[in-house]
């Protein structure tokens, strides 16, 4: 499994969350924050892991040929619950525990740096690969997806084509709406 593919799977998942979150915010007319953001991330996680055909891979991980050796609930804790808990703890700590907040940020930054260095130093395909410090703590190990079509480059090409097809579809729909809804504006 490619380390770049593992990193790219996380980037794809974050991009999916950003794009769909922005669309949900514009549809609702309000920002998704606090419990609404947590609910949105939970629904998105459930939809993307269920849509992947394997409950041990998110949408971005499936496109990158990665799956995680952990139950779905543990993957949920890593992908959604930790992020929401960190935001809630940060909001609580900002209100009067600034020194503790700075100390915790330094500790987590050091843990992430150490995990990233372990990630870079791990031999290719040798030692277990983890996506982050929380994944390492909960032992959510990344593996090559069985039956993935081709390697990382093939999966990346498929993800790129999938993204381009969506862009072309949206462009065609917008052109159609412009032609139908605004015929006299040209």
Phi and psi, residue 141, nearest 5°: -90, 140
Q: Which two tokens stand for residue 155?
A: 């999966």
Are the C-beta atoms of 157 and 135 separated by less than 8 Å?
A: no
Stretch among 11-25, 37-51, 83-97, 117-131 having the lowest mean pLDDT: 117-131
Tokens of 95: 């209100």
Q: pTM higher than 0.85, yes or no?
A: no
| Residue from 46, 63, 25 nearest 163 by CA | 63
Query: Which helix (H) or strand (E) covers residue 1, if one does?
Result: none
Q: How confident is the model at residue 26 (pLDDT cuts 50, 70, 90)?
A: very high
Q: If you average pLDDT over each of 38-47, 50-59, 154-163, which comes out highest?
A: 38-47
Sheet architecture: strand order including 66-69: 66-69, 141-144, 129-130
**66 by DSSP, 3-state: which?**
strand
Give CA–CA dist 75/135, Å, rounded.
8
Strands 66-69 and 129-130: unpaired
Q: How far is CA 76 from CA 72, 79, 81, 83, 117, in A?
A: 6, 5, 7, 10, 25
126-154: per-residue pLDDT in tens? 556 788 888 888 998 888 776 554 555 66
Token reading at 70: 């952990």
Q: Locate all alpha helices (DSSP H) within 58-151, ordered by sequence.
A: 59-63, 72-76, 82-94, 98-121, 133-137
């Amino acid at each position: 499994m490619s380390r770049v593919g593992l990193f790219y799977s996380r980037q794809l998942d974050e991009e999916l969350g950003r794009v769909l979150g922005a669309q949900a915010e514009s549809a609702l007319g309000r920002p998704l924050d606090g419990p609404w953001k947590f609910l949105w991330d939970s629904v998105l996680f459930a939809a993307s892991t269920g849509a992947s055909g394997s409950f041990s891979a998110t949408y971005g991980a499936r496109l990158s040929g990665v799956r995680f050796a952990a139950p779905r609930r543990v993957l949920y804790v890593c992908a959604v619950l930790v992020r929401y808990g960190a935001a809630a703890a940060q909001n609580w700590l900002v209100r009067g525990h600034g020194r503790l907040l700075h100390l915790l940020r330094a500790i987590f930054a050091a843990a992430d740096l150490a995990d990233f260095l372990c990630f870079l130093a791990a031999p290719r395909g040798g030692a277990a690969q983890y996506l982050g410090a929380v994944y390492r703590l909960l032992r959510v190990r990344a593996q090559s997806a069985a039956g993935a079509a081709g390697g990382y480059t093939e999966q990346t090409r498929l993800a790129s084509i999938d993204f381009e097809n969506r862009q072309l579809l949206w462009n065609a729909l917008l052109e159609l709406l412009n032609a139908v809804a605004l015929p006299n504006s040209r």
